[in-house]
Amino acid sequence: MFSLENENETFKIDARRRMLLLGGLFAGGILIIGGQLFHLQVMNGGEYRDLAENNRISLQPIPALRGRILDRHGRILVENSPDFQLAVIPELTGDIKTFIKRIQPFIDMSPDKIDKVLRQAQRQRSFLPLMIQSRLTWAQVNQIESRIHTFPGASIQVQTTRSYPNGNTAAHLLGYLGEVNDKDNLQFSDIHFRSGDIVGKTGMERMFEMALRGKEGFREMEVNAVGRHIRELKRQPAHPGPDLRLTIDVELQAEAERALSGLTGATVCLDPNNGEVLAMVSQPSYDPNQFIRGFSNDEWKQLVTDPKRPLINKAIQGQYPPGSTFKMVVALAALREGKIDAQTRHFCNGSVVKDNHTFNCWKSGGHGHIDVVAALEQSCDVFFYKVSEALGIDAIARQAKNMGLGEITGIGLEGEKPGLMPSRTWKKATYGHAWYPGETLITAIGQGAVLATPLQLACMISAVANGGRIFRPTFVPTSKDDLPPPTHITSFSPNHLALVRKGLTAVLHGKSGTARQFKPEKVMAAGKTGTSQVVKHKREKSGKLIKESNELFKDHALFVAYAPLEDPRLAVSVVVEHGGHGSSTAAPIAKRIFDFYFDKYGTS
């Protein structure tokens, strides 16, 4: 039987159960929340405090001023110049398009530049400065500053930019800057680059990147949740890079460039006693300031597609057959091996025949009976053909290697080429064929497979000048008490060296010397002309050369020399692409360099 009393009792029991369950759930929730708060505040409180602190602190880098580059006398080659920039804070100035339209008469922005600024304005926060135009002229700065009150939010900011005050002078040697890429990150792994950082790409700018860039500083800024700066908390100043003094003489460099102006090629000037580079020229050149200003698409396309390759440093990357400049190597090898001496004479009738092939002398009528001194003076090909037959290619290759040919000099500039000194082993490994006797004859006059850079040729003639030492070319000044050790030492016999020097002196001062018309004015010099074929020349039946009309098929012109004779202070190599003859094109350039140098610095 249903009882109201029993129903009330059941209700009370259910209510108590529900209250206990709800109380338990509530207590459990409190315990869980309390545990989480304990974990966050007590156990991990320090970590989260650090994270919160970091979220409101921004570290901003302070760029270090890049070190200047100076020549050997302290004259500026590369410096840092002020860059006047117009910036605006969008939230203060209003509509950016309207601002640009109003400021346009004073700065003349291109449509591409305007589009770039508008895109940047959309990407960044409106309270951050927006760069409108950099590299403003002083006149533009004055015009804007006098009206700055009419442009709310606008300001002129001053930054520093790299500057090459001599323009094209020494461009390949000094190099240029560019934005960092993966290759830079790999090579300079000790530098923590950020996207957009600038780094040396070529020349001295790259070779001495670690020293020149200095050490950047930083500002510790407090920012709010949206990144707006509130105050500066801490500052560590940047340390500028030290000045770099080079061995280069900028006046000699400029004169060498003028001497080669309008031509394609290179010239290198060394101190033969220590390997210091006094000048290094590659033509045509470019203006490294353009890499700072930026290129238009057409300008860049024209630069990189120019068949004369203005971006290539031909002094270290141009590889040319050395032509008759190589004959001094063959002469020294033959003297060392006992294949010739001062009395050895060969008869030149204009050609020799080897294995049914005719090898011509440059002088179709021949030189008659001739010894090694006269063969160098008159550059007789037949004499060296016959000497090389007795000598063999491997002996020639050994002598060439000892004089720095066929391998990089180790100057430290990126992209240096090693040239090539062929041998039996090289040909077998490269082509899988045996060496032919006729190839020895061609190599003996600096043709065929043999290749050298203008820098290597300067090292070669320096070895003759200093008695057999090959120094690693350097841009860092040395002292007489701290000379670098030679990379190669060729122990020339004094008698052998005297014979070769006598022949090289006769090239300039002998009655039949191939460069006698271009001897220096103030000093006695020793040198060797060279002409290297680009294509095989056609000849008349008499053996006389048929003049080539196509400019690109003309021979390269070469000349190497040193002066003064008794106390050499300057060694020079000149290569002119498609210049014709070394005696008429390259030798006058060297004469101009010698005359300038010894007129300026004296002969003693």
Q: Which H or E run contains 51?
A: helix 45-55
Tokens of 576: 């002119």
User: What does the DSSP assignment read for 450-475?
Assistant: -BB-HHHHHHHHHHHHHTSEEPPPBS
Of 355, 420, 364, 361, nearest to 385 by C-alpha is 361
3-state helix/strand/coil string of 410-429: CCCCCCCCCCECCCHHHHHH
The SS3 call for residue 245 is strand
DSSP state of 58: E
Cα–Cα distance between 557 and 586 in angstroms, integer? 6
Q: Is 312 exposed, middle or buried (0-12, 13-18, 19+ CB in 10 A)?
A: middle
Q: Which residue has the tokens 């315990």?
A: 31
How many CA atoms within 13 Å lie on the side-chain side of 266?
29
CA distances from residue 128 to 91, 92, 97, 131, 134 in whole angstroms, order as listed: 9, 10, 17, 10, 17
Q: Which residue has the tokens 């440093």?
A: 313
Ramachandran sector of residue 6 (left: φ over 0; alpha: ψ -120 to 50; beta: rest): alpha
How many CA atoms within 13 Å lie on the side-chain side of 366?
14
Indicate if 324 belongs to the active site.
yes
Q: Is the dihedral of CA 9, 12, 17, 18 positive or negative?
A: positive
Phi/psi of residue 238, each to 5°? -80, 155
- β-pair partners for 556: 532
Q: Which amino acid does the sequence have at 224?
A: N
User: What does the DSSP assignment read for 141-192?
Assistant: HHHHHTTGGGSTTEEEEEEEEEE-TTTTTTHHHH--EEE--HHHHHHTTTS-
Q: Among 282, 324, 388, 583, which one carries the catalytic annotation? A: 324
- Whether the bond between 284 and the residue before it is cis, its omega within 30 degrees of 0, is yes
DSSP state of 311: T
Q: Which amino acid does the sequence have at 311?
A: L
Characterize the bridge pairing of strands 217-223 and 229-236: antiparallel
Q: Residue 214, Cα to own-chain centre: how many angstroms?
A: 20
Of 81, 89, 88, nearest to 109 by C-alpha is 88
The answer for residues whose C-beta is within 8 angstroms of residue 436's C-beta and 6 or more apart is 355
The answer for residues whose C-beta is within 8 angstroms of residue 127's C-beta and 6 or more apart is 89, 90, 91, 228
Cα–Cα distance between 329 and 426 in angstroms, integer? 19
Of 344, 360, 456, nearest to 411 by C-alpha is 456
Give the residue numbers marked as catalytic: 324
